[in-house]
Amino acid sequence: MDTTKIAVITGASRGIGAATAKLFAQQGYAVCINYLANSAAANSVAAEIIQNGGHCILVQADVSNEQDVHRLFTTVDNELGPMSVLVNNVGILHTQSRLVDMNAERINAILQTNVTSCFLCCREAIKRMSRLKGGQGGAIVNVSSGAARKGSPNEYIDYAASKGAVDTLTIGLAQEVAAEGIRVNAVRPGLIYTDIHASGGEPDRVNRLKHKIPLQRGGEPTDVAEAIYWLASDKASYATGIFIDLTGGL
């Protein structure tokens, strides 16, 4: 099996991250499954990959913490080798709330987890993939959200703003590192069946809102994983600084 292609996927123990890790492994990538706390879920993803003949490692790390990020990427260097793909998938939201009821602790937690993590992981990936630094080039795919365009009023304005920051990072960084052989793109999922909605206090949110979606259904994590894989693949070799909206037509 060719495992010379190496993908680092943050927040890969569940939802979109888990589906993405499985897909990359199916396509011959050696995969680093990063997770924060849910070791049982992360081990389940790894077990499925290994059972299907894939190769992966598990690295627990808080990717909003600079020391943890350094340890994560050093582990990949030592255990897998030179990385070729980074998928910035980590993202959190808190209970649905209007801005007038949000405090600084909540806002800063959202921004640190959803934005700072993306910056830090991109930085470490560029150090390794940039042709100016002896790398072989590569691809970064950021997982944004349709909320970045809609704003999520009365629910998650803080989350939406954090994903707007990820969009701006994607645009600027794509131009910054294109000549170094690194492509930077993003996907913007809409209403997808994942556990994140339970974090917001409404596990059944997708079903409540799916009638508003032109396709009349919520999306599956595999729908998003396929787009991420395409953006990271050579088939998207002329794509950088672009966004794929996976919102069912919203």
In one letter, which amino acid is 25?
A: A
Respond yes or no: is residue 229 known to be catalytic.
Answer: no
CB 31 within 8 Å of CB 56: yes
CB 110 within 8 Å of CB 92: yes
- Residue 198's contacts (CB-CB under 8 Å, 6 or more residues apart) are none
Short-list 96, 112, 115, CA closest to 104: 112
Sheet holding 55-60, edge to edge: 55-60, 30-35, 6-9, 85-88, 138-143, 182-189, 243-246
> How many Cβ atoms sit within 10 Å of the Cβ of residue 157?
18
Burial of 77 (0-12, 13-18, 19+ CB in 10 A): middle
Q: Distance between CA 5 and CA 121 in Å, rounded? A: 18
Structure tokens at 33: 């499954």
Helix or strand holding residue 16 (H, E): helix 15-26
29, 159, 193, 238: the catalytic one is 159
Short-list 75, 93, 82, CA closest to 34: 75
Short-list 166, 194, 162, 161, CA closest to 15: 194
Q: Could you give the residue numbers annotated as active site?
A: 159
